[in-house]
Amino acid sequence: MGTPVAIEAPLGLPPVPIPPDNPPTGDSVALGRKLFYDVRLSGDDTVSCATCHNPQLSFTDGLAGSKGIGKKIGRRNAPTIFNAAYYSTLFWDGRAASLEQQAGAPIANPDEMGQSHELSIKKFEKIPEYRKEFELVFGPGRITIDKIEKAIASFERTVLSGDSPFDRYMYGGDRTAMSDSAIRGLAIFTDKHRCNCVTCHTLDEKYALFTDGKFHNLGAGIGKNGELTDLGRFEQTKVEADKGAFRTPSLRNVAKTAPYMHDGSLKTLKDVVDFYEGGGSSNLQLDKEIKELKLSAQDKADLVAFLESLTGKPKT
C-alpha cells in the first residue's frame, strides 16, 4: 500500500489539503501520472487527460473550447490544473466536490474522452502491467473507477505552481523580485476603491490562491441578442441568481493560460483588463461587485505587468 508522502507547497501557497481516504504515496502518484497521460482512457484511444491539460501549455490546451474524441469541441475553456489541489469545487460550474470526482467525469463525458467507466475498467484489467501497479498501490482486488480516480487525483495534487516573482516580493522579502510596473499593478489590484480585483482573486499576509472559490456572473459569454449563452452554475443549483455565474479561476500562471473566461472569448490579458474596465457585460444576474473602472493606459499596463509576475515555478 505504500507509505504516505508529504507534498511540499512552494513559496506563496498554503499546505496542500489531503483527504484522509486518499493519502498520496510515491506509487500512487506515479500510477496517477501514468494514467493522466494514457490515451486508453478514451473511447478511441486518442485523448488523454493531458490532451486538454498539457504541461507544455501550463496544463491547459490553448483553445477556447477543448477538443475531445471525434474532433468534438467542448463549450468551455479547459482551466489549468495547477494548484487544483486547493479547490473545494471543480469545473467552471462547480459540479465536482473533489479532485477524485473531477478525475472520473471527463472519461465518461461523450464530448471529451467518451468512454464508460465500465469499459475503462475492462481495458485496464487486460493490461498486466497496470494490474500489478494497481495492486501495489491499493492492495489485492479488481481495478475500479474509484481506484483510477484516486490515483489521478494523487498525481494532480502534486501539480503546483508558486515561488513566482510576486511570491518572492510579497512573501520572500525580495523587494527586487517585481518590476516597478508590477508593483504599481499590485497596488491597483489590491485597492478595493479603484479596482476591487482582490475581492474575488484573494490573497492574504501568508498565502495567495487568487480565488475566493465562489461563483460570479461577469457578463462573459453574452450572445448577440444580450442573452446568456451558458447558464453556468445555474445548471447545477437551479438558483436564479446563479445564471451565468462561473467559479473564480486562480490567476497564478495566468500569463501562460490564454485564452480567458469560461468560453475562451478573451485572447490576451489586455483584453481581460479592458473587459473589467468596462464593467463586464450587462445582464440581469451581473455580480454586484462588477463596476466600471477608471483606469489610465499606464494603470492597465501596470495591471498586466502584475499579472505576468504571477508566473511561478512549476512543481510536479
- Among all residues, which ones are annotated catalytic? 112
Distance CA 267, CA 135 (A): 45
Instruction: Tell me 25's DSSP state.
Output: B
Task: Find where cell 487544483 sits.
Answer: 84
Cell numbers that stand for 25 in this block: 504515496
Cβ-contact 262, 221 below 8 angstroms: yes
Q: Report strand pairing: 215-216 vs 246-247.
A: antiparallel
Report how many helices (DSSP H) and strands (DSSP E) the chain contains, helices first: 11, 4
DSSP secondary structure, 44-106, as one string: TS---HHHHSBGGGTTB-S-SS-B-GGG-B-SS-----TTGGG-SSBSTT--BSSHHHHHHHH
Name the 3-class secondary structure at 34.
Answer: helix
Distance CA 60, CA 159 (A): 13
User: 36, 315, 308: which is closest to 189 by C-alpha?
Assistant: 308
Q: SS in 3 state form for 121-171?
A: HHHHHCCHHHHHHHHHHHCCCCCCHHHHHHHHHHHHCCCEEECCHHHHHHC
Instruction: Tell me 232's DSSP state.
Output: B
Residue 112 burial (CB count, 10 A): 23
Distance CA 207, CA 227 (A): 38
Q: What dihedral angle (degrees, nearest 10) is formed by the CA atoms of 221, 73, 159, 103?
A: 100
